[in-house]
Structures are given as structure tokens and as C-alpha cells.
Structure 1
Amino acid sequence: MQERLDAILDRGPAGVRWSVCLRDGVSTPAERAADDVLGTASIGKLLLLAEVARRDPSSLDRRVARCDAVPVADSGIWQHLRVDELSVHDLAVLVAATSDNLATNALIAHVGLDAVAACGRDLGLRRTSLLDVVRGFRDDTVPEQLSCGSARELAGFMAAVAAGQLVDASVSARLAGWLALNTDLSMVASAFALDPLAHTARDEPGVRLFNKTGTNSGVRGDVGHVSGAGGSMSYAVLANVIDPALHPHVLATMREVGDLLVDRVG
């Protein structure tokens, strides 16, 4: 598997920084610069979702107002809806399903970035962080990126969720349920031939997936857990580029990594 991953990445586009980790349970059959810290864009929202998931389940019913969030557009659907308050649970669903930026900022306002950072530390993450709220513009007064992370930590995060060991079984199940709703299957997961709008366990009896992606002008990243008749794999595939013109080639390479995973999990 390592030889195949190396061949895929080596024939991919030049000018790309990769951090990749393909994990089979506790073993890592293939990796590339897995401890390097790269920009991860919306993948950092995983830590926010983990903090929300590990709180008292009764807190999921609390209402959060849209006006409490730092205004932001781009990804997500809450900005297009007329409802001005949603429950914490509903906001988490929007973040997991559509990487909703406004819902993300509302949840950050609700729980606080300090709590999210503490959650990361409690989970043993040292290279992976959610650094800020989502902003339409960044200057030198705020962090230069939304989040950062390493493929090894992120693949381990997904492996813990899959094993029911991220905090405990109930927290892991809650988080996996949210992440199974993700509609972005454009990267590694494009190889799995799933319906992007319906691929939960009851919808797809074959390959099953939960994942989170991150996208901005310099980042493409996909981290998740995929299982099938032949087994299961947790993965993190992160790419940082200077030239956005490389993104189509990066996506093609990520699809090849997905094909490698398909061969493994059957």
C-alpha cells in the first residue's frame, strides 16, 4: 500500500505539499509527511463538533441566535433561511452536512474558542487546532488561517470515532452520525460512488462513510473513515498549494488515493 501511495503522489502535480495518513485500526500501512502541519480550512470544525458532542446531551436543545454569530457568507445554507434561531443540535448538523460557516460561528459564540482548544488538548491533539471564527477577510490582526493540522492526528481522530473511543461510545456515535451527513464527496470520497445527498448506513448497504472536508484558495483536504465488506480504513489526505490552478490536478490525485482505499475495503 505504501508503494502505491508513493506512486500516486509522485506522479501528481508538482508544487503541492501533502500530508497523508492511511490508517487500518492501530496500524498505518501508508503515509506521506504525516506529521507535517498544513492549513486545513474547514476540517478544523471537527474540533468544534467534538466539543459540542461531548457536552451534556440536554445542551443540544438550547437555542442559539443567528445575530450572535460573526457574519459570514460562502458555504452553508442558514444564511438563506428565514429562521433566526436554531438548536445546538441543528447547528451541528448544518456544520457537518454543508460546512455551514454561519452555523460554525454561532456554535463558536455559544461554546467559545477556549473550550474548543481545551477539547483538542484533552483529545491529545498537538498539531491540530481550530484557530479562529470563519471570516470573509483576514488581515494581520487575526490568525492567518481558520485551522491547521497533521494527517496523522486527523486520521487518528477518525479512527477513534469509528472505534467508539473519542471520549466514549455515545459521543463517538453522535459525532459519526453528524459527519455521515456530509454532502461534499468531491475529493478522496469521490472514489466511493456514493450518493452525496444520502449515504448513511440505511441508505447505502455497501460502502459506508463519514468524513469532513476543507476547501479554500490554498487548501484541499478530506479526512474520514470508510468501511466495506473487505474491512475499514481511516484516512486523512491534506494538500496545500500556492497556485489555485493546481486544484483540478490535486482532486484527481485525491481520487486516486480514494481508489486505493476502495481496493482495501472492498
Structure 2
Amino acid sequence: MKALDDLARSGAQVSVRIDDLDRGSAVLTGDDFVTLPVAGLGVVPLLIEVAAQIETGALDGLEIVDRNIIDRVENGGVWQHLKAPALPVVDLAVLAAAAGDGTAANALITRVGLPAVRARIEDLGLARSALLDRFRDNRGPDDAPHVALGTARELAQLFAALVNSEVVSAGVSAQVAEWLSLNHDLSLVASATGLDPFAHFNDRHGLLFINKTGRADGVRCEAGVLAGPRAGIAYALTVCFDDLSIAHRLRAHDAFRTLGVELMEYVF
């Protein structure tokens, strides 16, 4: 709390929520009801809609999507560096979840449609969350100011529901959790876990972990589930700050890492 309070006193907006999975009660809350930009975390409801459409047969997971007919994102991601000009839907979901690939996410948005994702968000009861737009390298005056919005409370509860097989169906929950378990970004809260960023699905020390991060100018956020031999928790932390220098950015990152250390002590 001291690290988060110090960050808030420096002028940052901080929203945090930690829930105990076994007790179903909140361990830590701080402005967890405030809606803030969450950048790439907006991929999670998109992945849920993709998995749900595949389960019902409305979408073929092996359907090929051509990269040339979608809006590409040059800032980050992997697909832009691959020679393959087209990929199946399920591979795009892996890229969006594991590598934060904006081009792959845009391909999924193009295929399932923003209205369907927004309807899914409403159906999930996420009253303060939204996927507003596709991913863009630059946002102009006619574009939505952020790709996605959310609250720490709803994000933590969504991740808890995923691991408890309560999102749409057991099959959809398992599929989305599997995609998220491939996430390579373990640099924020997850940096305290000691897990291999590229291979942490079956950790030999018995640590269960899935997460998704979001990054934009002045925005850092992460939500996930961390479970060890003593306890399991669902967590979400969003920090919006003045990204004026590397020092400002590192101050925000340090708060995430401090939280990660505390969470590891809680579950072990």
C-alpha cells in the first residue's frame, strides 16, 4: 500500500483490486470502481467472444484471415515480421494473447465485429468496461481516445471467473485461459514470480499463473490469477501517470513489482 500511496501522491491515478479465490472476498481494494484506460487488456473480452463463437460454430477457428485487408499496427507485435500473409483465427488469438499483437487483435475485431464484443461485455455484466476501438499506432481527433476502458474490480472478477470456468461455459473459459497462459509479458506484477516468460504453463514449483498486460503512453495495467500451495488470488492494477521521463515510467513499474512480491508471499 505504501508503494501505491506514494505513486498516487506523485499525481498518478491508481486503481487496484485483489480477491482471494478460496474465500471469495476482497484482500485489497483501492479506487477499484474507477474506470480507466486499460490498453491491451481490452483483448480479453475480444478473446472471450472469439472462443464463444468458435464453440457455437458461428466461427471456424481454422478460417484464414488475410493480413492485407485489415488495419495493421506497426508498433509492437509479431505478425508484421512474419512472412505468412494470412493466418487462421486460432493462431491470431494466440498472437493477440501471447505477444500483444495489435494487428492480430485487429484481425479478430474485423472478423467478429466490435458490436458483438460490446454485447458480450454487457452480457458478462462488465458495466464499467468497454472495447472502444481497434488498435492504432496513432490516435487522431476523430478516433476514440483509448482502445479500451475497465475497472480493477471488474478485471479481477473476470479473471477469477475464467479460472473458475464461469465465463460463458467451461469450454470457453478453458480456451481463453489457455491462450492467456501463453502471455510473454511478465515484466510488471509477474516479474516477482520468477517464471520463464516463454514457458510457464506447467511450472515445476506448482505455481498457477495467467495474466494480461496493457501498455500505452502514460498507462500501465495488469490483471491475472496467481495461485500457490497456500492460496490463490485474482488481481488487477492500473496506473495512469505522466510519462514525462524514464524515471516517471520506472516509478510506476516499481509499484507493480512491489505488488508482485506481496502477492507471492500471500500465495506461498
- In structure 2, what residue type is equivalent to 1:251? H
Alignment match, 1:19:
15
Alignment match, 1:87:
88
Residue 242 of structure 1, CA deviation? 2.2
Give runs of aligned pairs for residues 69-108 of structure 1, distance below 5 A.
69-108=70-109
Q: Deviations over 1:146-194 (max 9, x none)?
A: 1111000000000000111111111111000000000001111111111
Residue 228 of structure 1, CA deviation? 0.8
- In structure 1, what residue type is equivalent to 2:258? E
Alignment match, 2:37:
39
Alignment match, 2:260:
258
Give runs of aligned pairs for residues 143-154 of structure 1, distance below 5 A.
143-154=144-155
Q: Indicate conservation of the 8 Å contact 1:194/1:204, yes or no.
A: no
- In structure 2, what residue type is equivalent to 1:27? S
Alignment match, 2:229:
229
The question of 1:49 aligning with 2:44 is answered no
Shift >4 Å, 4+ stretches: none
SS of the aligned residue for 2:235 comes to strand
Alignment match, 1:3:
none
Quote the Cα distance in structure 2 between the aligned partners of 1:241 and 1:8. Answer: 14
- In structure 2, what residue type is equivalent to 1:10? D
* Gaps in structure 2 of 5+ consecutive residues: none
Quote the Cα distance in structure 1 between the aligned partners of 2:189 and 2:79. Answer: 27
SS of the aligned residue for 2:61 comes to helix
Alignment match, 1:127:
128
* Gaps in structure 1 of 5+ consecutive residues: 1-5
The question of 1:218 aligning with 2:214 is answered no
Residue 244 of structure 1, CA deviation? 3.9
Q: Deviations over 1:4-43 (max 9, x none)?
A: xx32312336111011000112211111000001111111
Quote the Cα distance in structure 2 between the aligned partners of 1:8 and 1:74. Answer: 30
| TM-score, normalization by structure 1 | 0.95
Q: Indicate conservation of the 8 Å contact 1:220/1:247, yes or no.
A: no
- Calculate percent identity across the aligned residue pairs: 39
SS of the aligned residue for 2:215 comes to strand
- In structure 2, what residue type is equivalent to 1:260? E
Q: Indicate conservation of the 8 Å contact 2:7/2:14, yes or no.
A: no
SS of the aligned residue for 2:87 comes to strand
Q: Indicate conservation of the 8 Å contact 1:185/1:196, yes or no.
A: yes
